[in-house]
Structure 1
Amino acid sequence: MKNLLPANGFLSVIAQWFSANILALGREMRLSYLPPLMVYVAAGISGLTGIVGTFYVKEKLGLSAEFLAMLGFWMMLPWALKMPLGHLVDLVWRWKGLLVYLGASLIMLSLLIMIGLLGHTEAMAAMASVETWFVISALLAPIGYVLQDVVADAMTVEAVPRVDENGQKLDPDKRKLMHVTMQTLGRVAIIGGGVLVSIANVFILRDAGALPEAEKEAVYLFVYQLALIIPLVSIFGVVFASWLQRRDMKHFLAQGHSRQEAGKLLGLHSEPPSINWWILGGGLVFTILSLGVGLSRISGGEEIVFIISMAIVIFLMWRLTGELEPDARNVLVGTAVMIFVFRAIPGPGAGSTWWMIDTLGFDQQFLAVLSLVGAVLTLFGMFIFRR
């Protein structure tokens, strides 16, 4: 009996941790959190085509790792515009759902191009080279995901109610806790989506490496067809948000509030912020210069874009920090430096994956297993360090 006590005590600690860190999120979940979480899930499951895309490029296109590294640089540029796009969302708050539809359309177009390349290669090649189609697809997807991401960030603010069901203002501390929960659930949705697609890839890609060429291409095609669910999930989130808004409006109208009063309770008539031309102008200048350098194909284009972007970011940071209190300014600068150092560390690129495929003999399913392990560890680590 004594030997069982330590084991029982350990299990009790695990049960308490599970209840406090995982079940608590379920208990704090609200229906209004679901719309932005759907958009985040769409971002999480975007990796569904990652492994198939890697093998398609390696087996069919013959693009060099250097070219893919260069393409990856341009694919990351839309994410550099997240700050001006976020400000744009604030300015067009009432119409932000349209940006999700636009982002979903770009993602769907990117997937349809790849479906066309796999299912109707000759017809696509008759209009443009297969490599050109692939580059277009690769550049469209990140633009769509950035648009959806900035709107999802804005929707998290809207998802936390300002008043209770009786129209009474919620306690500020309670709302702060709800915001923390919303942000945590957002991270869980993204990482959890990665876990789901990794599991799907493990089963879909089993023995794919040993299949005849025609059957292998059919598997690849099925994965891209399945990925069409990604934009549909985000669109469902926006549609569901509209339904919740109409439901809550009817609820307050039934309580005797006027339409204007109900709109204020729901935060529908909030005044948009003043236009920050430094942010919008900086983003516009960055876009024009980046596209100009990229289209000109001058030597060292990536380095030029990096210098331009750093100059613009430092200038905008200087303008922003000048309006903050010293403590807030120090926190912002410190956080920015840490993020820059993390993002500036170069990745191994496609060459490392190809080395694992060619030298170590990793097939599609094994890479899917590695992806699953990484996603699960990331999710577990997030809960371990959750405060």
Structure 2
Amino acid sequence: MSRFEYRRFWRWFIDDFLGIVREMRWSYLPPLMIYLAAGVSGFTGIVESFFVKQELGLSASFLAGLGFWAGLPWALKMPFGHLVDLFWHRKALFVYVGAVLMAASLMIMVGLTGYKELMVGMLPADVWYVLASLISPVGFVLQDVVADAMTVEAVQPYDSEGAPIPEAALKRMHVTMQTLGRIAIIGGSALVAGIGGWLATVMSYAAMYWLSLIIPVVSVLGALIGSWNARRLRSTYERMGRSQEEIRDLLRTEECTLKPNWHILGGSAVFVAASLFLGLSTFSANKEIIFLASLAIIGYLVRQLLQDLEPSKRRDIIGIAIIVFVFRAMPSIGAGASWWQIDVLKFDEAFFGTLRQVASLLAIVGMFALRGWMSRRPIPYLVVFLSVYSTVMMLPFIGMFYGLHEWTEATFGFGARTIAIVDTMADSPLGQVAMIPMLAWIAREAPPAQKATYFAVMAAFTNLALSASSLGTNYLNRFFII
């Protein structure tokens, strides 16, 4: 490596990789704590799986149906987001209500695992479990819509001296904030994936659920720090000589004058009703009908929402959303590939767990490394690059289908597992990158009084892409049987 290349690498390492630590602000902490609480929510996942199997004896079909109902609260993210905008000056209440619901769900599980006879004396155990499974997601959705909008509040347009922050630096700060949000969620998930499994072997089920009560506490602390930070910023702006009207616009501390958008509220009600009706139906093509109906409803909501934007900004966000939608809608290799890895490559549960851990950790490292790159490149460039790169990263698994691992083991001494780990290390960061530029754009350009609504509606639109991906994967697995 030449001296020039070394200095260039060192500058990238300091500015881009470690720069995210240097650019951390106190104001970023409140939404990050709420995101972290969501990330570590899977702490009791392993314990819950064993408890349900050993103690409740619920069937797989019942649990699959329960999974549908437990996922339904996320369809409420759009009206919840609009309500958060309408009552932004009371946003902490949404976090507190969410924390109470999460704590109530965990306390039910404490009762079932530690005081089962007492609980069964009031209601059957399976009824308690269904209740716990349904109220917890509502709490997480309430907190998620607040955290999304708090990421906007976290990036203030003035520095500590009162000078306006340049547009390029402000864009970089929004990318940093959204990157840190993804890191908090993924990092929390990776952390509890290992610790939760180990603690499950040395602690009782009830003790695990008692310990998990710290999760809603973390989110409440985030809301409290957010309130303290708003007061701190108000004092800072007053010292800078900012007017009270300007401070109100920056911090949105007064009662909101935004009028309810009945298109959003009514359309969301239709969306939830359609999800319920079609989800419980027995149509042979109910998944396709649900997807098309959802796409039509959310497309209408996006159209209504974007009417207040300037034409140029409207074209920008529509283009970004479509690009991200198409990228996320690409079919995956499906469960058949996993079965092939189990049957032919002899991957076991422990190794799949290792791959998931590697993917999570490398995703975090990758977002550290790619943050500066994301802030400097246009979104179409990013998505095209990610698409090509993801295609290249599939080649090792295609090669192993034709015996690549046998040749490498005979020639170089490493086989399928080494190839899988290296491929996962190279590919894992990029799947998390695609959403960050769109979130940063919404944080920067959406109307100040409708940030939560924009986040919720655009997230619903791009999340539909995952349904499209599942449908495409289903069709591919029918035509190309592994």
User: TM-score, structure 2 length as denominator?
Assistant: 0.64
What displacement does 1:224 show?
1.4
1:59 and 1:346, CA in 2 relative to 1: closer, same or farther beyond 3 A? farther
Distance 1:16 1:191, change over 3 A: farther
The separation in 2 between residues aligned to 1:368 and 1:138, in whole angstroms, is 25
Tell me how far 1:85 sits from its aligned partner.
2.2
1:32 aligned onto 2:27: yes
What's 1:99 paired with?
Answer: 94
Tell me which residue corresponds to 1:87.
Answer: 82
Q: Which residue number corresponds to residue 322 of structure 2?
A: 333
Superposed counterparts of 1:250-261, under 5 Å: 250-254=235-239, 259-260=244-245
Q: In the alignment, which residue of structure 2 is the partner of 1:223?
A: 208
Counterpart residue identity of residue 25, structure 2: R
Separation (CA, whole Å) in 1 of partners of 2:60 and 2:333: 14
1:37–1:185 contact (8 Å) kept in structure 2:
yes
Match of 1:286 in 2: 271
Mapped contact 1:202–1:368 kept (Cα < 8 A): no
Whether 1:123 aligns to 2:118 is yes
- Count of matched residue pairs: 361
Say whether the 8 Å CA contact 1:162–1:266 is kept in structure 2: no
1:51–1:367: 8 Å Cα contact kept in structure 2? no
Q: Which runs of 5+ in 1 are unaligned?
A: 209-215
- Which of the residues 228, 239, 243 maps onto 2:224? 239
Please give the per-residue CA displacement for 1:47-106, whole angstroms capped at 9, x wherever unaligned: 111111112222222222222222222222222232332222222211111111111111
Quote the residue 1:162 is aligned against: 157
Residue identity matched to 2:117 = E
* Corresponding position of 2:459: none
Of 144-153 and 158-167, the range deviating more from structure 2: 158-167
**Cα gap change, 1:368 to 1:15, in 2 (>3 Å):** farther
Which residue among 48, 54, 59 is the counterpart of 1:59?
Answer: 54
Q: CA deviation at 1:192?
A: 1.4
Deviation at 1:124, TM superposition (A): 1.1
Q: Counterpart in 2 of 1:375?
A: 360
Q: CA 1:21/1:226 → structure 2, altered by over 3 Å: closer, same or farther?
A: farther
Query: What is the rounded CA distance, in whole Å, between the counterparts of 2:8 and 2:169 in structure 1?
Result: 27
Q: CA RMSD in A?
A: 3.7
Equivalent position of 1:187 in the other structure: 182
Listed one character per residue, the Cα deviations across residues 312-332 of structure 1 (whole Å, up to 9, x for unaligned) are: 224334545777555543432
Partner of 1:78: 73
Q: Where do 5+ consecutive residues of structure 2 fail to align?
A: 374-482
Q: Structure 1 residue 174: deviation in Å?
A: 2.1
Distance across 1 between alignment mates of 2:142 and 2:208: 24
CA deviation map 1:4-26 (0-9, x unaligned): x79x9999888665434431100
Paired with 1:333 and 1:88, the residues of 2 have a C-alpha distance of: 26
Residue number in structure 1 paired with 2:432: none
Q: How far apart in 1 are the matches of 2:173 and 2:31?
A: 14
2:204 aligns to what SS in structure 1?
Answer: helix
**Is contact 2:237–2:247 with CA below 8 Å preserved after alignment?**
yes
131-140 or 191-200, which moves further after superposition?
Answer: 191-200
Which amino acid is the alignment partner of residue 23 of structure 1?
Answer: L
Separation in 2, partners of 1:186, 1:377? 16
Shift of 1:385: 4.7
* 1:138-153 alignment, distance < 5 Å: 138-153=133-148
Distance in 2, matches of 1:315 and 1:253, equals: 42
1:315: which partner in 2? 300
Cα distance in 2 for partners of 1:338, 1:278 equals: 28
Q: After superposing the two structures, state which structure 1 stretch, 331-340 or 45-54, moved more.
A: 331-340
Aligned equivalents of 2:189 and 2:198: distance in 1?
A: 15
Partners of 2:90 and 2:306 lie apart in 1 by 30
The alpha-carbon distance between structure 1 residues 336 and 369, as it changes in their structure 2 partners (threshold 3 A), is closer
Aligned equivalent of 2:128:
133
